[in-house]
Copies of this chain bind each other. A is one copy, B any other.
Amino acid sequence: MGSQTGSTTRSAGPRRRVSAEDVARLAGTSQSTVSRVFSPGAAVSPALRQRVLEAARQLGYRPDAIARSLTLRRSRIVAVAMAHLDNLVYPELLERLSTALQAADYQILLFTADKGSTADPVFEQVMRYRVDGILLASTTLSSCFAGECRAAGVPVVSINRATDDPAIWSVTGDNERGGRAIAEFLLAGGHRRFAYLAGIEDSSTNRDRERGFAAGLAAAGREPPSRAVGNYSFAEAQRAARTLLARPDRPDALFCANDPMAIACLEVARHEFGLRVPEELSIVGFDDAAPAAWPSYALTSWTLDVAAMAEAAVGALLAQIEEPGRPAQRIVVPGRLLVRGSARRPPPDLWPQDAVDGLAPAEARPLAPAGAVP
């Protein structure tokens, strides 16, 4: 019938897209030349290039990245797995990863994982898209899949969650040091009954933060802190706080493994137990997510340098893509204790400002006006 339908095999399906072939026909040249016009380095005579560009414009031609991926065996797609989107630190991380990746001309294939669960189920699908690399943010990939990635030569970098696998790159904050600094800060503040509210137990962030905290207390000859588990969840932290604060030996210093949990505890302490923060209870968080700075909380928190982490992670991934087989690194991004009003501050002589990485006096913002932290 019509020569238009020359394709023998195809019939239904979405309408034909305009291809390089179409452009070539209109410009009176070959498909190869059209391709060259759209390939950055290729040599095409100015006149021909002009004609091709014009034809492409007329037809609304856009090179097909899918076909390109197939030919080049490079998709310029990076998979990003992320959980905990309710903790503002992650949306911020996602935004920065996106910006950095877009700048390098990579696209993001996003998959979200549930909190505790592994990223495996969707991962299988994602791998089929032949992504050039994988960024795992606070999610675990079962070691089985991690092995497959390595076998398939797909670079992986884990963000904010170290894996057991020494072959996998990771970018994390300085969790242990942060935990220790918080212990020292609270110790210097004269607190006596310490408590720790844990995040997800088997996460490296939790493990390292707690280890640092316990080590800091131990170094001062204190007993390990009392302990509850909030699994990085606001609601669970609220429940845990009710238990912790109802104890006869109520803690006077509480370190929560992330900010949302710290805010949850602060709310419970203030509104359910009528405690004054920090006079009767000091609370310290971790990550310095946006709400930590809101005056009602004025949360003292260890900073996670999300911008630096995103940059490091994307850099590490691109490096691996360019140069496969590079030995894995564990990148630790420094942070510092950002002192606000939610924890009693030590007298200046007991707490040399420079004892904590980068804590310049100017950074220690003034307490919110009286009444802010009732």
Contact = CB atoms under 8 A, between A and B. Distances in A.
B13 A74 contact: yes
A37 interface: no
Interface residues of A, number: 69
A220 interface: no
A349 interface: no
Contact of A109 (B14, B73, B107, B127): B107
Contacts of A86: 88, 91-92, 290
Nearest to A153: B15
Given A65-B130, A70-B70, A128-B63, A372 B14 contact: no
A272 interface: yes
Interface stretch (A44-52, A97-105, A197-205, A223-231): A97-105
Contact of A294 (B67, B129, B130, B263): B263
A108 B109 contact: yes
Contacts of A295: 267, 270-271
B107 A126 contact: yes
B148 A60 contact: yes
A130 B129 CA distance: 13
A40 interface: no
22 contacts: A14-B74, A14-B153, A62-B127, A66-B66, A66-B129, A77-B109, A86-B290, A88-B88, A98-B112, A105-B125, A107-B109, A108-B109, A109-B110, A267-B294, A267-B295, A267-B296, A270-B296, A270-B371, A271-B296, A271-B372, A274-B371, A374-B374
